[in-house]
């Protein structure tokens, strides 16, 4: 692979700790860690990996990702800052998959465009956000995505209308079709007052700081919202706040967050999640479903990427 990377010009590192690239600050080394700088370079890399039969997976900003302690024995392709261009035309914003949602939302504010305020505090990338239909405070990306550019399973560039992307709660067509890779998305927003938009963002940021354990590494909400209820409420009524396994803990500030209190491993987090799930099922009769994606350790590969 080293010869291919050097000939193709793809930025890469060997034995790169995934803990450096996930918001959980957990994960062993990726044998190869690559960051393509264009859709063409990405497609060429994927084609070469398939031809050579090299194990590979795709990630975004790593904010919704739990990486295995053993790392990943193939190529981790990160769609990040090298593919993060943003352009604005009227009330529409086109951003590449690696652009941070917070940066896209800030760009919208600067141009007096409303509709993306909810995304200002989400730490993931646009590609990962589209992949899982990220949302917060009553807003979801499905509300503003006009179209998505992606590579299909045959690595052909395609475009899909937002209404055809199969957006549902924390999922999309791209999550179901793991061989597709999101490249960019166009968002349709509305003209608004810049100061009002900025004020809404400040208020939401304040609510996050007040209610969420932002001072500790985590992957955000650990579990999806069960129908008709909230994971955090169920976990709290089961008396699990503060429960620890190794360095992983159920946040005492917000029970919906599993946090890394220091030195947590992937094994710690998984063991704690299993204990939470079993307790909530036994006491409340509700099956919690994890929102966090797993990289390595039997996780799905060759996917569209995560936050």
Annotated active-site positions, please?
170, 221, 291
Buried b (16+ CB within 10 A) or exposed e, 260-281: beeebbbbbbbebbeebbebbe
Residue 64, exposed/middle/buried by CB under 10 A (0-12, 13-18, 19+)?
Answer: buried
Element holding 220 (H helix, E strand): strand 218-221
Which residue is associated with the tokens 């993306």? Answer: 116
Q: How far is the C-alpha of 306 from the C-alpha of 86, rounded, in Å?
A: 19
Q: What is the DSSP letter of 165?
A: S
CA gap 141, 167 in Å, rounded:
9
What CA–CA distance (Å, rounded) separates 125 from 130?
9
Q: Are strands 145-151 and 72-78 parallel, antiparallel or unpaired?
A: unpaired
Residue 133: φ, ψ to 5°? 50, 60
Q: Of 60, 65, 64, whose CA–CA distance to 27 is shortest?
A: 65
Pull the structure tokens for residue 4.
């291919």
CB atoms within 10 A of CB 94: 19
Tokens of 208: 């996050």
**Sheet arrangement for strand 218-221:** 218-221, 257-260, 248-250, 244-245
Inter-residue contact 240 to 284 (CB < 8 Å): no
Using CA atoms, how far apart are residues 162 and 305, in angstroms rounded to an integer? 18
Residue labelled with tokens 């350790």: 297
């Amino acid at each position: 692979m080293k010869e291919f990377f050097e000939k193709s010009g793809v930025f890469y590192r060997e034995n790169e700790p995934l803990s450096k690239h996930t918001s959980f600050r957990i994960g062993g080394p990726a044998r190869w860690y690559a960051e393509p700088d264009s859709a063409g370079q990405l497609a060429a890399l994927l084609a070469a990996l398939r031809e050579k039969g090299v194990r590979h997976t795709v990630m975004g900003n790593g904010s919704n990702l739990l990486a295995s302690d053993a790392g990943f024995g193939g190529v981790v392709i990160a769609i990040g800052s090298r593919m993060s261009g943003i352009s604005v035309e009227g009330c529409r914003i086109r951003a590449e998959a690696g652009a941070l949602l917070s940066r896209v939302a800030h760009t919208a504010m600067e141009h007096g465009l409303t509709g993306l305020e909810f995304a200002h505090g989400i730490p993931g990338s646009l590609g990962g956000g589209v992949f899982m239909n990220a949302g917060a405070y009553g807003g979801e990306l499905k509300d503003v995505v006009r179209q998505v550019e992606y590579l299909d399973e045959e690595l052909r560039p395609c475009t899909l209308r937002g209404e055809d992307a199969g957006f549902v709660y924390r999922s999309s067509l791209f999550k179901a079709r793991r061989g597709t890779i999101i490249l960019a998305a166009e968002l349709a927003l509305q003209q608004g007052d810049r100061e009002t938009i900025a004020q809404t963002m400040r208020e939401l940021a304040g609510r996050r700081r007040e209610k969420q354990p932002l001072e500790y590494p985590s992957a955000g909400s650990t579990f999806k919202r069960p129908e008709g209820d909230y994971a955090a409420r169920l976990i709290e009524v089961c008396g699990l706040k503060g429960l620890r396994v190794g360095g992983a803990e159920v946040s005492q500030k917000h029970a919906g967050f599993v946090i890394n209190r220091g030195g947590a491993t992937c094994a710690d987090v998984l063991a704690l999640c299993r204990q939470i799930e079993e307790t909530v099922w036994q006491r409340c009769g509700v099956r919690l479903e994890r929102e966090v994606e797993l990289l390595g350790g039997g996780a799905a590969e060759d996917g569209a990427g995560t936050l």
